[in-house]
Structure 1
Amino acid sequence: MKRIAVIGGGITGITTAYSLAKRGYDVSVFEKNRYAAMETSFANGGQLSASNAEVWNNWQTIIKGLKWMMRADAPLLVNPKPSWHKLSWFAEFMGAIPQYADNTTETARLAITARDYLFQWARDEGIDFDLKKKGILHIYRDKAGFDHAANVSKLLAAGGLERRAVTPEEMRSIEPTLAGTYYGGFFTESDATGDIHKFTFGLARAAERLGMSPFYEHDVKDVGASDSHAWVVADNGEGERRHTFDGIVICAGTGSRALAAKLGDRVNVYPVKGYSITVQLDDERSRASAPEVSLLDDETKIVTSRLGDDRFRVAGTAEFNGFNRDIRADRIRPLTDWVEQCFPGVSTRRVVPWAGLRPMLPNMMPKVGSGHLPTVFYNTGHGHLGWTLSAATAELLADAVEGANAAESVSVSH
């Protein structure tokens, strides 16, 4: 197995292609957009956040979701219109509640591993992506939120992550521009932020230098596989063409479920919409008033990152509304309001809104590894931690491909 097709040119597809190309595989990436990282990997919250590894599978999330269902500006919004996909997803989500602690710890462990790979790749390939290694500060307005975070910290510590509780006074010394009254916070010095689009685009160029073949502006219409090979039918605007490979990796984000079904596998990814705004820091006062340290406001589920001198990214909310990609004003407004409340010196006169669909599996863990056929692999379903986990899952995927290769060689030699 030497020729591998990767479906999807977002952060998971490109990191997968890079890991495979580094190991000598002949990799082809199929992406319907003109460039890499043009959809969910375009304008996320910017955090490389092992400290945000807590999975959502707990009763607290379900209670909040029910309470917020009729609030258009709620941090978590579920469209009550039923569908089999949504109902099956939520049933499995509730079924994964007993794994909450183990999955949170394992996600933290994966995130720490991923961070080391990602930083090394950026150094090796000279990728400038507005990296800031200034930590992430979780902020809490009440004792209940703070106490819950203290319990989460124990699970993160079991995965190898150090984060410490901080008083309101310490919070202001960590990030002096933060306004408002808080009960306390938790600070993770080892976390970082950056521009996911710049990183993914730079890594795609690096993968090309290693021999990766980019099939941009190729809309995948069909996929298939057997025990010995796999194929992709893609349309480049001038007609459909069939491409044959030794193996295929599905990294197609929210499109992974439909492709997996064609390959005989069930991958119950649901699209969970998230929103962001990029605040343009055009004047000196705004630049001085915007934070340098990344924040996560647990109550509002809002995260921030400072991207260079003149951009401030603010992202959050989760919306279960199918494949709807509309940018709703009533979902963007809370992000702008939050900036004005927490950083009153920042002008919100020039704000760029965005929405993307996070590919989430019910247990909040990515699917990484082989399908039921020996030529089919998956690296998808990373949810809200796609960038944070991507480098580690790409290496795990490459390990799985190499393992399949070794097994194939053994069977041939016999």
Structure 2
Amino acid sequence: MAISDPNPSITILGAGILGIAIAAELAEAGHAVSVFDRTGICEETSSGNAAALAFPDYLPLAHKGMLRQLPRWLRDPLGPLSIPPAYFLQLSPWLIRFVRAGHPRLFEAGVAAQAAMMRLAADEWAGLSERAGMAGMIRHDGSIDLYEGEREFQASLPGWMVREKAGVPFEHVTGARLAALQPGLSPRFTHGTFMPTWKTVSDPKEFGKALWTYAESKGARFARKTVTGIERSGEGAMLRFADGTTHHSARLVIAAGAWSHHWARLFGDRIPLETERGYNTTLPAGAWDLKRQLTFVGHGFVVTPLAHGIRIGGAVELGGLKRPPNYGRSKAMLRKAEQFLPGLKTEEGREWMGYRPSLPDSLPVIGRSSAPNIFYAFGHGHLGLTQAAATGRLMRELVSGEKPSLDLAPFSPKRF
């Protein structure tokens, strides 16, 4: 339904990469855009991600291989996936939905929706990065999934069949070909799969700030403010801030990452969002001669070349927003990386933990709330950076009353 005002004032709650991409798209379309965040532009989870534009990553987390490995991983408190025992009961409803998402019918529908989203994401980042003068910050080196032995490689093949059906290009590699793609690996990694269309950015925080510079040049405005309340106000919304001030907007987009579902409840929408607490260590430049992003499949983490060093991170701790960080997890990955990348210099590393907003079916929420003129864009899990430009495009279309570029039913806030 078209809106009466062709260029309404729009407020975005959240200045992570998703909020910034939405701001850039809306500002390009001539809307008056205000962005609010308690810290700054890409200062929280968007600053420390693995820097991937993971366009070939179609598989939901609840795919068959993941569910098979779940019991083994959960036995290791510092392994690829952990759940603090005290949090398990609170997490149970989410886990039940997560397991159900692995049902073949739901799995196939999820892959189809994710494939469509990834095609749009690749196109939109290509265009937006050129318009914003950021194309040079994107690396086109591809990535390699690594396997320890024939058995682990064979277990991966069903997932590659799904990707092949979706049109993802890849190459299974061994021996000299694997060594040419990434010299110096431990010989324990006998097989790999190279994905040429996987991309990374030079530094996710700098990338986000560059995108904001472009959005700001188009008229978007940012203020560092802590939102303490949101309420309906006429046809729009009123935000209340910790400093006692307020802000009214004709349209509101909630893109507040792992905190978004708390705000959604104010508008009658109960969305089962959970927090994947991700850890990493960033090493300085010269730590190892890394050619492209590597994924250690059986261990659930990646290493990524950045402009100023190497980032070693991943793993998942489903532990909510309130527990203190467990940096033993980042140390465990660093110790493994030292074995997998002989000669890796592990000194002067900087540890980090961030909150990934995750939904049990691995699809984000993109759509209208139960209240008029309130929109949602959150829950992208590991794929926030990857899908940010596509989400910006879709949000621009929703707010402007245009036909969306994708069928948004799989991403509906009402699907739960």
Compute the TM-score of the two structures, normalised by the length of structure 2: 0.89
Give the Cα separation in 2 of the matches to 1:405 and 1:222: 32
1:244 aligns with 2:248: yes
Matching residue of 2:395:
397
**Structure 1 residues 150 and 52, CA, compared in 2 at 3 Å: closer, same or farther?**
same
Cα deviation for residue 83 of structure 1 reads 6.4
1:212 aligns with 2:212: no
**What is the letter of the counterpart of residue 275 of structure 2?**
P
For residue 43 of structure 1, the aligned residue among 38, 41, 48 is: 48
Contact 1:101-1:155 within 8 A present in 2 as well:
no
1:266 aligns with 2:273: no
Secondary structure of 1:315's counterpart equals strand
Matching residue of 1:384:
382
For residue 85 of structure 2, the aligned residue among 80, 85, 100 is: 80
Runs (5+) with no aligned partner, structure 2: 405-416
1:121 aligns with 2:128: yes
Cα deviation for residue 385 of structure 1 reads 1.0
Cα deviation for residue 210 of structure 1 reads 0.8
Matching residue of 1:64:
69
**Structure 1 residues 246 and 404, CA, compared in 2 at 3 Å: closer, same or farther?**
farther
Give the Cα separation in 1 of the matches to 2:135 and 2:194: 25
| Deviation by residue 1:277-322 (Cα, 9 ceiling, x = unmatched) | 111135xxx4xx42111111111111121112x4011111100111
**Structure 1 residues 84 and 403, CA, compared in 2 at 3 Å: closer, same or farther?**
farther
**What is the letter of the counterpart of residue 247 of structure 2?**
H
For residue 100 of structure 1, the aligned residue among 82, 90, 107 is: 107
Cα deviation for residue 332 of structure 1 reads 1.4
**What is the letter of the counterpart of residue 107 of structure 1?**
Q
Secondary structure of 1:388's counterpart equals helix
Cα deviation for residue 17 of structure 1 reads 0.9
Give the Cα separation in 1 of the matches to 2:64 and 2:161: 19
Contact 1:281-1:312 within 8 A present in 2 as well:
yes
Cα deviation for residue 164 of structure 1 reads 2.0
Of 368-377 and 82-91, deviating more is: 82-91
**What is the letter of the counterpart of residue 291 of structure 2?**
E
Cα deviation for residue 53 of structure 1 reads 2.9
Secondary structure of 1:233's counterpart equals strand
Contact 2:126-2:135 within 8 A present in 1 as well:
no
| Deviation by residue 1:348-375 (Cα, 9 ceiling, x = unmatched) | 1111110101000111100111112221
Secondary structure of 2:44's counterpart equals coil
Of 269-278 and 218-227, deviating more is: 218-227
**Structure 1 residues 142 and 151, CA, compared in 2 at 3 Å: closer, same or farther?**
same
Secondary structure of 1:331's counterpart equals helix
**Structure 1 residues 182 and 346, CA, compared in 2 at 3 Å: closer, same or farther?**
closer
Of 380-389 and 163-172, deviating more is: 163-172
Cα deviation for residue 60 of structure 1 reads 4.2
Cα deviation for residue 92 of structure 1 reads 1.6
Matching residue of 1:17:
23
Aligned-pair identity in percent equals 26
Give the Cα separation in 2 of the matches to 1:396 and 1:90: 29
Secondary structure of 2:154's counterpart equals helix
**Structure 1 residues 109 and 314, CA, compared in 2 at 3 Å: closer, same or farther?**
farther
Give the Cα separation in 1 of the matches to 2:196 and 2:144: 8
Matching residue of 2:295:
296
| Deviation by residue 1:44-96 (Cα, 9 ceiling, x = unmatched) | 11111123332111454345333333422111001122466522211221222
Cα deviation for residue 143 of structure 1 reads 3.2
Matching residue of 1:318:
316
| Deviation by residue 1:124-174 (Cα, 9 ceiling, x = unmatched) | 222377432100111111334323432222322333321122223321111
**What is the letter of the counterpart of residue 24 of structure 1?**
G
**What is the letter of the counterpart of residue 389 of structure 1?**
Q
**What is the letter of the counterpart of residue 147 of structure 1?**
Q
Give the Cα separation in 2 of the matches to 1:325 and 1:51: 33
1:198 aligns with 2:206: yes
Matching residue of 2:261:
257
| Deviation by residue 1:88-120 (Cα, 9 ceiling, x = unmatched) | 211221222222233134323322321332233
Runs (5+) with no aligned partner, structure 1: 407-414
Give the Cα separation in 2 of the matches to 1:318 and 1:345: 27
Give the Cα separation in 2 of the matches to 1:105 and 1:114: 14
**Structure 1 residues 79 and 231, CA, compared in 2 at 3 Å: closer, same or farther?**
same
Q: How large is the RMSD of aligned CA atoms in angstroms?
A: 2.2
Secondary structure of 1:154's counterpart equals helix
1:133 aligns with 2:137: no
Give the Cα separation in 2 of the matches to 1:61 and 1:342: 22
**What is the letter of the counterpart of residue 47 of structure 1?**
A
Matching residue of 2:280:
276
| Deviation by residue 1:164-193 (Cα, 9 ceiling, x = unmatched) | 222233211111132232241211111111
| Deviation by residue 1:224-249 (Cα, 9 ceiling, x = unmatched) | 236721221122xxx22221111111
Secondary structure of 1:4's counterpart equals strand
**What is the letter of the counterpart of residue 264 of structure 1?**
G
**Structure 1 residues 300 and 231, CA, compared in 2 at 3 Å: closer, same or farther?**
same
Contact 2:65-2:156 within 8 A present in 1 as well:
no
